[in-house]
């Protein structure tokens, strides 16, 4: 998972960074730093994000593919 994927998931859910962080169990500052590219998503953070929303890697890729299609990228 990368910063764009994290941001896309958060935005798709209509959540603020604080709401997303609270749901996932991470700090809002960490979410902001990941989205800015200052930190990478660690395997532990990735597991927390996927578990918090009951999604898997396939779901993340599907969201990204849909985003590309809707923006004219495919």
Mean pLDDT of 47-73: 86
- The CATH architecture that domain 3-70 belongs to is Orthogonal Bundle (1.10)
Considering the entire predicted model, what is its pTM? Answer: 0.83
- Structure tokens that stand for 47 in this block: 């597991």
- Structure tokens that stand for 51 in this block: 């578990």
Please report, for the chain, the start and end positions of each structural domain, with discontinuous segments joined by +: 3-70
Q: Are 12 and 70 in contact (CB under 8 A)?
A: no
- The dihedral region occupied by 2, where left means phi > 0, alpha psi between -120 and 50, and beta the remainder, is beta
Per the prediction, the chain carries an average pLDDT of: 91
Q: What is the pLDDT of residue 74?
A: 52
Phi and psi angles of residue 14, each rounded to the nearest 5 degrees, phi first? 70, 35
């Amino acid at each position: 998972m990368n910063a764009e994927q994290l941001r896309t998931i958060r935005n798709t859910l209509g959540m603020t960074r604080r709401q997303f962080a609270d749901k996932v169990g991470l700090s809002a500052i960490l979410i902001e730093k990941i989205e800015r590219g200052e930190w990478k998503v660690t395997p532990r953070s990735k597991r927390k994000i996927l578990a918090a929303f009951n999604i898997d890697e396939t779901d993340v890729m599907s969201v990204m593919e849909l985003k590309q299609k809707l923006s004219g990228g495919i």
